């Protein structure tokens, strides 16, 4: 009797946890891919941790990027067009407004058959930065394109976003 009650209580307590895990996994952000797994060239000695702050509207704003990465958003297999875009969210080279200029754009593109990769790049005009637009930011975009191209992600390619003018 006590064993059955423990099992029933345990299951009752477990169900909300399982539901939380299932809903979290279903809406989870895709995993990002580091562009330089062994450290980005020119980032040696840069130890300031990446920071994320929220705007009053709830937007995630990233600064102090030392490890550039891409976050993939793939279309459903039946919708894939073979095209891909590197989305470079803007922020005046001092920060990255990753939600509406990155993730939202990528979600829209993938829902229309285009693979999208949101680029998190090193910031040239952030106070104290030793990075440059023409050198570091451009190399991050070029590395993102080469990474996708090398893995055969797309047949047609492009870039977009407020930060893409570095090309």
Shared domain for 36 and 16, answered yes or no, is no
Residues 95 and 16 in one domain: no
Strand 60-63 relative to strand 96-97: parallel, antiparallel, unpaired? antiparallel
Structure token pair of residue 163 = 């930060």
88 and 26 within one domain: no
23 & 41 share domain = no
- Phi, psi of 109, deg, nearest 5: -60, -45
Same structural domain, 61 and 13? no
Considering the domain architecture, whether residues 70 and 147 belong to the same structural domain is answered as yes
pLDDT in tens, 96-125: 999 999 999 999 999 999 999 999 999 999
17 lies in the same domain as 58: no
Residues 19 and 41 in one domain: no
Tell which residue, 102, 41, 39, 38, has the closest CA to residue 72.
Answer: 102
- Mean pLDDT, residues 154-162: 55
DSSP secondary structure string for all residues of 56-88: TT--EEEE---S-EEEEEPPPTTT--SEEEEE-
Domain check: are 51 and 62 in the same one?
Answer: yes
How many angstroms separate the CA atoms of 5 and 27, rounded?
34
If you average pLDDT over residues 6-34, what whole number do you get? 48
Percent of the chain past pLDDT 90, that is, above it, reads 59
* Separation between Cα atoms, residue 119 and residue 101, nearest integer Å: 11
This prediction has a pTM of 0.76
Q: What is the pLDDT of residue 26?
A: 39
* Phi–psi pair at 159, nearest 5 degrees: -130, 160
Q: Number of folded domains in the chain?
A: 2
Long-range (24+ apart) CB contacts under 8 A made by 48-54 are: 48/128
Same-domain check for residues 9 and 44: no
Q: Which of 11-20, 27-36, 44-53, 67-76 has the lowest mean pLDDT?
A: 11-20
Comparing 159 with 15, which gets the higher pLDDT? 159
**pLDDT, averaged across the chain:** 80
pLDDT at residue 28, rounded to an integer: 56
| Residue indicated by tokens 């920071």 | 51
Q: Is the same domain home to 101 and 25?
A: no
**Residue 89 and residue 163 in contact, taking contact as beta carbons nearer than 8 Å:** yes
Q: Print the domain residue range for 120.
A: 32-166
Count of Cβ atoms closer than 10 Å to residue 26 Cβ: 7
Same domain, 39 and 26: no
């Amino acid at each position: 009797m006590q064993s059955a009650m423990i099992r029933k209580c345990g299951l009752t307590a477990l169900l909300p946890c399982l539901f939380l895990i299932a809903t979290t996994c279903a809406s989870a952000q895709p995993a990002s891919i580091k562009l330089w797994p062994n450290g980005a060239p020119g980032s040696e000695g840069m130890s300031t941790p990446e920071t994320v702050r929220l705007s009053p509207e709830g937007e995630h704003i990233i600064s102090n990027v030392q490890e550039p990465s891409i976050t993939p958003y793939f279309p459903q297999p039946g919708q894939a067009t073979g095209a891909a875009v590197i989305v470079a969210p803007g922020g005046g080279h001092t920060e990255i407004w990753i939600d509406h200029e990155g993730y939202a754009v990528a979600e829209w593109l993938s829902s229309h058959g285009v693979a999208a990769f949101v680029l998190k790049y090193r910031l040239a005009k952030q106070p104290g930065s030793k990075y440059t637009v023409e050198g570091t930011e451009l190399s991050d975009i070029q590395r993102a394109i080469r990474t996708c191209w090398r893995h055969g992600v797309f047949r047609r390619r492009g870039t977009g976003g407020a930060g893409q003018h570095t090309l």
